[in-house]
Amino acid sequence: MRTDLISRRLFLSSVAKATVAATGGAALASCLSQHLTELPRETLLARLSELKAELKAKHGKDATVSDKGPMPDVVFGYALDLSRCVGCRRCVYACVEENNQSRDPQIHWIRVQQMDKRKGVDFAHADPYYQPEKVPEEGHFYVPVACQQCENPPCVKVCPVQATWREQDGIVVIDYDWCIGCRYCMAACPYGARHFNWSEPALPSEAFNATTHYLGNRPRPKGVVEKCTFCIQRTREGRYPACVEVCPVGSRKFGNLLDPKSEIRYIIENKRVLVLKAELNTLPKFFYFYGT
């Protein structure tokens, strides 16, 4: 059931596994997939408290690990005003702080591409490593790219173990406990949105954001893939993603695509809107627009 996050989730802890093996025998065990979509609630709760204990031991903070599911009648959409973005990269670092990315090596879920106004949106001539004294630079504009939360996500299609899927509210999530680290999704993603933990992620305890979500910003282990989740730990509580809050020029807009009175709907209906690589039919829910 896609609507109820609670009823999905998590594979058995080793204790539960042993219990099944000991008491149920092969017949019972064979009907129990350990994929989280088919797991009982108790198993999930056990895993969540296990995670909290691990985080407490590691970072000395009382963390919350939410498993909040999608809200009814909500599909999240994002819009970014290309005419306002100045390329300051505050969103990049606010995202890192909010989502507990590794600081060494640095993992960024948002990549800001500097582009040439004469060439338009053209990745072949984009520069993600621009380092001027001051932004924006004359003759340039900026295209921040993160997960486009595709309605038709190629990454989900290719995952050999169904470790990643699209939730009812449109967010494409990854179960970090299930991902085998084959990186097929990274090859399939047309937006470079997926990032791999090439080594043990380094997250200093003082930087650890203890308000986490199981499918979102809880710290990830080595060897799995991660990506933007529209700040699932915030947005499912009715808050804005961290990048929206931090943007100093108000170029980032976020809301419910199903609400006809939302700002995001107004933008889509009234502004000049584009999606990246539209020809690939990925149907992003991340829109770029020209506000002015």
Partner 1 sequence: MPFNLFYQFFTGSVRQVLRGNLLYWAWLLFLLALIASGAWAYAGQIERGLGVTSMRDQVSWGFYIGNFTFLVGVAAAAVVLVIPAYIYKWGPIREIAIFGELLAVSAIVMCLLFVSVDIGRPDRFWHLFPPYGKLNFPSSLLAWDVLVLNLYGLINFVVVTHLVYSGFVGKHYKTWFVYPLVLFSVPAAVSIHTVTAFLYNGLAARPYWNASILAPQFLASAFCSGPAILLILLQLIRKFTAFQIKDEAIWKIAELMAYAMFLNLFFHGSEIYKEYYSDTEHLLYTRYYFDGLHGHTTLVPFAWSAVSLNIVAFLLFIVPKTRRNWVTMNLGCLACYAGVYIEKGIGLIIPGLTPDALGEVYEYSPSWTELQVSAGIFAVGFLVFTLMLKVAVPIALGQFVLTPRRGA
Residues near partner 1 (CB under 8 A): 29-35, 105, 111, 113, 122-126, 128, 145, 154, 157-163, 178-184, 186-192, 194-200, 221-225, 280-281
Query: Which C-beta is closer to partner 1: that of 5 or that of 225?
Result: 225
Q: How far is the CB of 194 from partner 1 (least distance, A)?
A: 8
Query: Which C-beta is closer to partner 1: that of 141 or that of 236?
Result: 141
Query: Which C-beta is closer to partner 1: that of 268 or that of 280?
Result: 280
Query: Which C-beta is closer to partner 1: that of 15 or that of 237?
Result: 15
Query: Which C-beta is closer to partner 1: that of 191 or that of 289?
Result: 191
Q: How far is the CB of 279 from partner 1 (least distance, A)?
A: 9
SS (H, E, C) the chain: CCCCHHHCCCCCCHHHHHHHHHHHHHHHHHHCCCCHHHCCHHHHHHHHHHHHHHHHHHHCCCCEEECCCCCCCCCEEEEEECCCCCCCCHHHHHHHHHHCCCECCECCCCEEEEEECCCCCCHHHCECCCCCCCCCCCCEEEEEECCCCCCCCHHHHHCCCCCEEECCCCCEEECCCCCCCCCHHHHHCCCCCCEECCCCCCCCHHHCCCEEECCCCCCCCCCCEECCCCCHHHHCCCCCCHHHHHCCCCCEEEEECCCCCCHHHHHHHHCEEECCCHHHCCCCCEEEEECC
Q: How far is the CB of 161 from partner 1 (least distance, A)?
A: 4
Query: Which C-beta is closer to partner 1: that of 160 or that of 238?
Result: 160
Q: In whole angstroms, what is the distance from residue 258 CA to residue 72 CA?
A: 10
Query: Which C-beta is closer to partner 1: that of 197 or that of 256?
Result: 197
Q: How far is the CB of 126 from partner 1 (least distance, A)?
A: 5
To the nearest 10°, the Cα dihedral for 243, 245, 248, 254?
70
Q: In whole angstroms, what is the distance from residue 255 CA to residue 265 CA?
A: 8
Query: Which C-beta is closer to partner 1: that of 197 or that of 229?
Result: 197
Query: Would you call 2 exposed, middle or buried from its count of C-beta atoms within 10 A (0-12, 13-18, 19+)?
Result: middle
Q: How far is the CB of 214 from partner 1 (least distance, A)?
A: 17
Q: Which of 177, 201, 202, 204 has the alpha carbon at shortest distance from 59?
A: 204
Tokens of 180: 């085998």
Q: How far is the CB of 31 from partner 1 (least distance, A)?
A: 7
Q: How far is the CB of 276 from partner 1 (least distance, A)?
A: 9
Q: How far is the CB of 59 from partner 1 (least distance, A)?
A: 20
